[in-house]
Structures are given as C-alpha cells and as structure tokens.
C-alpha cells in the first residue's frame, strides 16, 4: 500500500502561536512584557479575533503567556518553566503505568553519564561546589526532609556541571518525580528513621568527589552506579509502586 501523501496544513491560529512563541524563546519578547494589543496583532497577521484568541489559548496552555482580563488586559509573557514539562511527563508516565524503578534507572543512566562528562571537564570549582553540598548535608543527617532536599540539590548539581543543557532538563523532570516520592516515603515513616542511610549517602557523595579529584573517572562512574542502584533498592524495594500511586 503506498504511503499517504496528505500534508497537514497548520491552522492560522497555530501559525500565529508559532510566530509569537519564536519571539518569546528568542528573547524578542521578554518575561513580563505585554504582547501588542489584539487590534495590532489582528492587523499584523491578518486574522480574526477568534483566531487570535485561539492562538493565545495555545500559548497559555504551554505556560509561556498568561491572558489578563479587563481594561489593562491582554497577553503577558511568562518565563518558560520546566515544571510544566515535568508535570506533563509525569502524566504521560502515569498513563503508561510506569513503575518507579523505571524512573530511578533512567536517573541512574543520566547521572553516570554526567559523572563521566564531569571527569572530562575536570572543573575544580565544580568539584568544590559538589563537595560543599555534601558537607552541608552533614548538618541535617538527622532531618530526613532536610537531607532529602540537600541530596537532590547535589544530584542536580552533578548533572548541571556536566555542561549538557538537555541532560539537565531531562534529569530535572525526573528529579521532580523523585522529590514527590521522597515526600511520600518519608511521611510514611517515623522521624529520624533514615539517619544511618543518610550517613552512608553522604560518605558516597564525598567518595565521588575524591575519585574525580584523583582523575579516576571510570572508578567514579562505577562507584556512582553502585550508589544509585543501592538508592533504588532502598527507596523502591520489592513492592514497586506505579507513578499513579505517587503523583496522584
């Protein structure tokens, strides 16, 4: 059977939204700025008011503008927020019945790759930052919520330091899911239950810094994979929940 040659023609509202979106992401329209009023935009694009408002709804659904009502109303530009993408990703994974272990394993692959990239960069200031985060966590080892926050900050810093914007964006979406799971996990247990595990985690963090400082990148990657697999085993265990149970 021959392949279909039907070409989807974008609606006028989609073309208008694409033009305005391009202006926002390129910085031509800054966060906080008002879009030109409806009359100006209707004339510029040669479209009707309903078409323009449909374009606004598209951009509003992407959380890159907000539409204000009243005499001073109109479209106001918002700074793109990764939390919107994270929420959508969470919904998609929930719909697919994704188990938590899948999220933790994806996080492991991203972080182990990031450690390898970090070793190649060998930024002393970056290693000092990661070490400082690890040592800061020592003050909250007995505070499960506080340590969980410090721990996520350190993991995020590792991926960010690798220098890949794409990896950082992907990992941040996973970290938001893991943060939600942390809250559920901690709330179901008595205060201070995780002190011993927190101490082990902090030692693993400092060990990573030592290996990277010594230039043992492969050793650092092996160490970090073992650590993250142990974290998955502890946080998920044998009874693997789905994301619906965590994010609903």
Q: What is the pLDDT of residue 208?
A: 95
**Confidence band for 221, pLDDT divided at 50, 70 and 90:** very high
Q: What is the mean pLDDT of residues 80-97?
A: 82
Domain membership of residue 6 (yes or no) is: no
Q: State CA 146 to chain mean position distance.
A: 20
Domain of 129 in residue numbering reads as 83-247
The CATH number of whichever domain residue 197 belongs to comes to 1.20.120.530
Q: What is the pLDDT of residue 54?
A: 95
Q: Which position has the token pair 């003050």? A: 139
Report the distance separating Cα 146 and Cα 154, nearest Å. Answer: 13
Domain membership of residue 171 (yes or no) is: yes
Please give, one letter per residue, the 3-state secondary structure of 36-61.
CCHHHHHHHHCCCHHHHHHHHHHHHH
Q: Are residues 16 and 126 in the same domain?
A: no
Contact between 217 and 116 (Cβ < 8 Å)? yes
Report the distance separating Cα 88 and Cα 80, nearest Å. Answer: 14
Report the distance separating Cα 156 and Cα 181, nearest Å. Answer: 16
Q: Are residues 17 and 47 in the same domain?
A: yes
Q: Are residues 115 and 233 in the same domain?
A: yes
Q: Are residues 33 and 92 in the same domain?
A: no
> What pTM was estimated for this model as a whole?
0.77
76: left (phi over 0), alpha (psi -120 to 50) or beta: beta
Q: Are residues 108 and 227 in the same domain?
A: yes
Q: Are residues 99 and 200 in the same domain?
A: yes
How many residues in total does the chain contain?
A: 248
Q: Are residues 167 and 202 in the same domain?
A: yes
Q: Are residues 173 and 220 in the same domain?
A: yes
**Confidence band for 87, pLDDT divided at 50, 70 and 90:** confident
Q: Are residues 88 and 139 in the same domain?
A: yes
The CATH number of whichever domain residue 28 belongs to comes to 1.10.10.10
- Angle (nearest 5°) at CA 13 between 11 and 15: 75
Q: Are residues 114 and 156 in the same domain?
A: yes
Domain membership of residue 2 (yes or no) is: no
- 139 contacts: CB under 8 Å, gap ≥ 6: none
Q: What is the pLDDT of residue 211?
A: 94
Of the candidates 185, 124, 111, 212, which has an alpha carbon nearest to the alpha carbon of residue 154? 111
Domain membership of residue 168 (yes or no) is: yes
pLDDT tens, position by position, 15-35: 999 999 999 989 999 999 999
pLDDT at 83 over 90: no
Q: What is the pLDDT of residue 4?
A: 59
Q: What is the mean pLDDT of residues 74-83?
A: 85
The number of domains in the chain is 2
């Amino acid at each position: 059977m021959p392949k279909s040659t039907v070409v989807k023609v974008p609606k006028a509202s989609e073309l208008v939204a694409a033009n305005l979106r391009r202006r926002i992401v390129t910085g031509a329209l800054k966060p906080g700025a008002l879009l030109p009023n409806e009359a100006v935009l209707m004339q510029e694009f040669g479209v009707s008011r309903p078409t323009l408002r449909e374009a606004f709804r598209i951009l509003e659904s992407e959380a890159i503008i907000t539409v204000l009502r009243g005499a001073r109303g109109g479209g106001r530009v918002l700074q793109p927020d990764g939390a919107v993408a994270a929420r959508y990703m969470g919904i998609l994974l929930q719909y697919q019945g994704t188990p938590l272990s899948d999220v933790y394993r994806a996080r492991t692959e991203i972080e182990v790759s990031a450690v390898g990239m970090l070793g190649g960069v060998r930024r002393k200031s970056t290693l000092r930052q990661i070490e400082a985060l690890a040592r800061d966590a020592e003050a909250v080892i007995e505070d499960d919520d506080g340590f969980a926050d410090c721990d996520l900050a350190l993991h995020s810093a590792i991926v960010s330091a690798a220098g890949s914007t794409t990896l950082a964006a992907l990992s941040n979406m996973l970290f938001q899911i893991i943060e939600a799971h942390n809250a559920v996990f901690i709330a179901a247990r008595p205060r201070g239950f995780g002190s011993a595990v927190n101490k082990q985690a902090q030692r693993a963090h400092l060990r990573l810094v030592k290996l990277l400082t010594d230039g043992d990148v492969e050793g650092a990657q092996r160490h970090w994979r073992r650590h993250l697999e142990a974290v998955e085993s502890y946080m998920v265990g044998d009874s693997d929940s789905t994301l619906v149970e965590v994010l609903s």
